[in-house]
Amino acid sequence: MIVFIYDHTFDGILSCIFYAYEHKTFPDIILSETAQRPLFADKLYHIETEEKKSRRVWTALEGKLSKSAQNMALLVWLSDLPETEMVLFRYFRKIIDHQKGFEMNFGDSDVIRIKEIARKVNGEAEKIRQFVRFQKTKDGIFFAPISSRYNVLGLVAPHFRSRYPNQSWILYDTERNFGLYYDTHDLQEITFSLEDLKSFKSKKLESEKLSETEIYYQNLWKEYFETIAIKERFNPKLQRQHMPKRFWKYLTEMQ
């Protein structure tokens, strides 16, 4: 078994591709530096990420992949699935080794899997755009915790930056313990302490952290939601289909 160890970056995957072709050594497994190593491995290779080499690989892939296929590959990278590294490695290798147009070979299992994962990641990003609920804190920042299956903050941030250009807000991924803070000018990555993370990982912010107007509007929204509801037409199964239950903990109307 041949194992590649890399730095868990997209440039790192491309550097693995370059190393494999340069040394004619192809991995059975690609692992991040922090991942658990297999008990039995014939050889371990630590692949150094080199921007110049990764750029050469991506340039070669751009020449053979459509813009749509390039975007799908990037979406797969954001999936954070255990299979991500090897699926991308096999896919990129096939693209390099075959004529342009191999991305349309839907008889190939990796081509199909790339499309499946990309569709799921894209779908998750759309759900986040739909179900994010910002809460105004006492310091005037609008805060929205999310619990995402995939690493989609970078995909959804442009939408909220465009929609709320004059508001300071934070989108925070509680599954990965990092977020994006927008100060009405720039976006920057932030991280909370584990104690703070625990306080809002399973529910909305506590009332003592919210502004008075936020509490007022939340109560008003709950009353409106209850008023317009038609009990005779209540359909929990259909509700869960359109509004997945894993988002309910952050939705004011579902409290």
Write down the pLDDT at residue 252. Answer: 81
Tens of pLDDT along 162-191? 999 999 999 999 999 999 999 999 999 999
* Whole-number Å distance between alpha carbons of 142 and 126: 20
Tens of pLDDT along 66-79? 999 999 999 999 99
Cα 252 to chain centroid distance, Å, stands at: 24
Name the pTM for this structure. 0.86
Q: What angle do CA 152, 158, 163 make, to 5 degrees?
A: 125
If phi > 0 it is left, if psi is from -120 to 50 it is alpha, else beta; for residue 105 that is beta
Helix (H) or strand (E) holding 234: none
| Residues paired with residue 145 on neighbouring β-strands, in sequence order | 172
* Whole-number Å distance between alpha carbons of 89 and 128: 28
Mean pLDDT of the chain: 91
* Whole-number Å distance between alpha carbons of 219 and 227: 12
* Whole-number Å distance between alpha carbons of 42 and 44: 7
Write down the pLDDT at residue 182. Answer: 96
Write down the pLDDT at residue 40. Answer: 83
Q: Is the dihedral of CA 190, 193, 196, 202 positive or negative?
A: positive
The encoded tokens of residue 114 equal 């790339």
Q: Which residue has the higher pLDDT, 74 or 221?
A: 74
Query: Which residue blocks in the chain are alpha helix, DSSP H?
Result: 10-23, 51-62, 67-77, 84-97, 109-131, 153-163, 194-200, 212-228, 236-242
